């Protein structure tokens, strides 16, 4: 999701707090509801909502969700090739950014490896053989 805007709504009544809505380029929207407390205000609500989403992204899928995934796979007989793929401009830009990052990282690693293994990058050193050959200072008469 390519973020294009955020909105903060103050909630009053039964559960006071804030709802932060993140809006995506392709019309996507993600809302995070935060309860009042811990110094929550309009200035730090976006930051705290972002932290909640990061925690959610790192959360492992629970049993209930895994069963849903298994049910979906069973209904499709594991054939996901026929499923239509809908990509928004945000999806395309995200995939391109990930691809660019992987390529640049691979190129950097390759360049580092070449520099480390290439002998021409070492300074020239003089080598002298310790085995005497063709001595000219010996008198052979």
For 17, the enclosing helix (H) or strand (E) is strand 17-24
As given in the structure block, the two tokens for residue 70 are 């298994």
Give the residue among 26, 20, 24 at the shortest CA–CA distance from 7. 20
pTM of the model: 0.43
Residue ranges per structural domain of the chain = 3-61+87-113
The per-residue pLDDT for 136 is: 63
How far separated are the first and last CA of the chain, in Å rounded?
92
Question: Using one digit for the tens of pLDDT, what is the confidence trace for 98-141?
Answer: 788 788 888 888 888 777 766 655 555 556 666 666 666 666 55
For 1-38, give the DSSP string.
Answer: --EEEEEEEEE-SSS-EEEEEEEETTS-EEEEEEES-T
Question: Using one digit for the tens of pLDDT, what is the confidence trace for 29-84?
Answer: 999 999 988 788 888 888 888 888 887 776 655 545 445 455 555 555 555 454 44
């Amino acid at each position: 999701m390519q973020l294009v805007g955020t909105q903060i709504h103050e909630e009053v009544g039964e559960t006071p707090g804030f709802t932060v809505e993140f809006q995506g380029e392709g019309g996507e929207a993600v809302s995070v509801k935060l309860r009042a407390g811990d110094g929550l205000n309009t200035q730090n609500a976006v930051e705290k909502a972002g932290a909640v989403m990061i925690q959610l992204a790192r959360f492992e899928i629970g049993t209930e969700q895994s069963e849903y995934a298994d049910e979906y796979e069973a209904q499709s007989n594991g054939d996901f090739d026929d499923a239509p793929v809908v990509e928004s401009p945000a999806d395309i830009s995200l995939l391109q950014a990930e691809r660019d990052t992987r390529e640049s990282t691979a190129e950097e690693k390759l360049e580092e490896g070449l520099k480390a293994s290439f002998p021409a990058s070492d300074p020239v050193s003089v080598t002298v053989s310790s085995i005497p050959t063709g001595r000219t200072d010996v008198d052979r008469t």
